[in-house]
Chains A and B, each alone.
Chain A
Amino acid sequence: MSEILDEPRYVCALGGAQSVQAIYRAVPIFHSGPGCAARVSGSSSGTGYLATNTFPCTNIAETEVIFGGEGKLYDIIENSLKVIDGDLFVVLSGCTTEIVGDDLEQVVGDFKDADKPVISVNTPGFKGTNYEGHEWVVDAIINQYLTRLPKGEKIKGLVNIWGPVPSHDPYWIGDLRELENLIREIGLTPNIIFGEHRGIKNLNKVPLAEFNLLVSPWVGLNNVKLLEEKFGTPYLHYPTLPSGAHETSAFLRSVAQFAKIDLAPIEEIIALHEEEYYYHLERNVSVFFENRTASKMFSTVSTASRALSVAKFLVNDFGLMPNKQYITENVPVEHQDRIAGYFKEFRYGVEAETIFTTDGYNIQEQIEKEYYFGPPLIVGSIFEKKIAKKLNGNFLCVSSPFQQKVVLHSSYVGYHGGLKFLEDLFTGVYQTYN
């Protein structure tokens, strides 16, 4: 079954390379055509210790398609180990080399005695999206690297945090850091492998954690299950990326309960945060509710993770009503019913309908038909800007493709994240009408 896909909001599985890049001093090696590295990274993963233009690549062309590219891959790995000062080398395959049938595992097997670990992961574009690619990369790291580390003692209070997908989600790093702060506040020690100067040091600690914390509706679920299988580490699956007081307080209570921490001091922390949070909401009520152009109903057009986070915040904290929620990252079918269920658990019995679609034309056509009791609020990607403008609605860009503003380390997670979301939302409202 093939059809034309308008405005896709993801890249192919080879985009899992962005997760390798996000591990400091880890080196993705592309066994693919010369354009693939640039295509899957786009502008989202930026520059750094290594970047799109400096990744080793086998530059597959006709010769390798006919005669196989294993010899060339061997040369590239051998030379990468010589010239690139990295800690972990991850070979990723593209569509072409998978169709030709190159055996990555066999070639990588020749480097099992190399000074630095070399692992491989099959990420052909026809097999899935970059969100699945991210999961496969983490799975490969667990299976081929972590399980070969010498066994160590579990560290009390150490928690691995998984969830936001590096680079493709514009707020990934800020969100991860905010989750880290929240976990630290309740007395646990967070461990995240992605982002600045964490790298192999944090990666090596993954098997030693007391438990894994997954903050995402589906991405990463297979990883934490695999970690449980390999290292006996239990996991807490908290599907909603917490934004705003209601969800963040619930998140802190859930984690504390799972970690068997005394709840009394946690309640004190929560009360302090909520006091500050509601102070800001209260003193800006005039901005939020006396603004005639503010919306009453909203739709999100985003990944399951971001859509759920934003929808819970807007309904539970801010009192807007949800219209249809469009989930755009081609969620695997086995997760869809469960995710649709999350959108029926708002406060006051409010429920939202979820549409799983990857097609921009389809989404915009449906949004245009819906009734929003005034100007709609569309929270999505840059693709939704046009339809929001057409309907005289409000618009906030929160997910890829982004190109709307520069995000360095800000986040929509936590108490401060909720306030930041409102700042951005109403800045947009002001700018549209003033």
Chain B
Amino acid sequence: MNILNILDEIEKVDGEIYERLSPRRSAMRDFFNVGKKISMAAVPLALGGLFKKAYGQTNPASVNEVLGFALALEYLEWNYYNHALTLANSTYIPDGPARQAITTIRNHERAHVDLLKGALGITGSDQYVYADFDFTAGGTFADVDTNYQTFLKVATAFEDTGVRAYKGQAPILKGMPVLTTALQIHSVEARHAAHLRQMVAANVTGASGLKPWIAYTANGNDTGVSAADAVYAGEQNTTQAGVQITGINGTAVTQSQATESFDEFLTGSDVKKIANLFIKTGKKLA
């Protein structure tokens, strides 16, 4: 259970937290009192409420923008997997480990949706439903609902995009407790991506060499799915914070290992362009 940690962190890292909180100390005290009584299952809701009370009106708009942006991506992922799991398993996601893995991932995305809705104080129905998405991306992935290989390719692109998206937003959340939560989501997306890449390697024609990590190619895209080039743009980078990683300090680190050892970020606007390919007109991200 993380809550005590998070509160610890608030105290340690946010120098202004008590100034920000002072009119709201009662919110913290109420939370602690409630915490003694509620069941563990109710904690996420209570936590969301705490963030809302503690940061409420003083929450910088940019933080809410980040959380809202993350929420949109989680809606996309959740609806994708949730819909796929309703399709016939005889020709699509097979029973057994594959279906279990996609179910695990689907459930995490739902948990992320609920967590982010709570953090933003959103109650009631989801702002995005399945009908708001076009997972064929205007016909690019026309057989996404019938071809298991296409399903896996798109899923991998979504997870690798998610990993890059959270990374790109981190500086906006710097030093805030909500950064920790974002990082905890981020690394789960990376675990999903690694597993999906293994599923692609095992099931997609011609992709048996795909690694759990993103290997070097000239344009950054190691998946062989050219329609996903934008997802991997820049992944070929081997220079980090001004340090060249290939052969660093006389080691045998190859160009591909240098690329693999650091995942790259994507800017918010680049992520939105990718996400909007799958979102119908009228609901696209601005």
Q: Do A and B come from one complex?
A: no
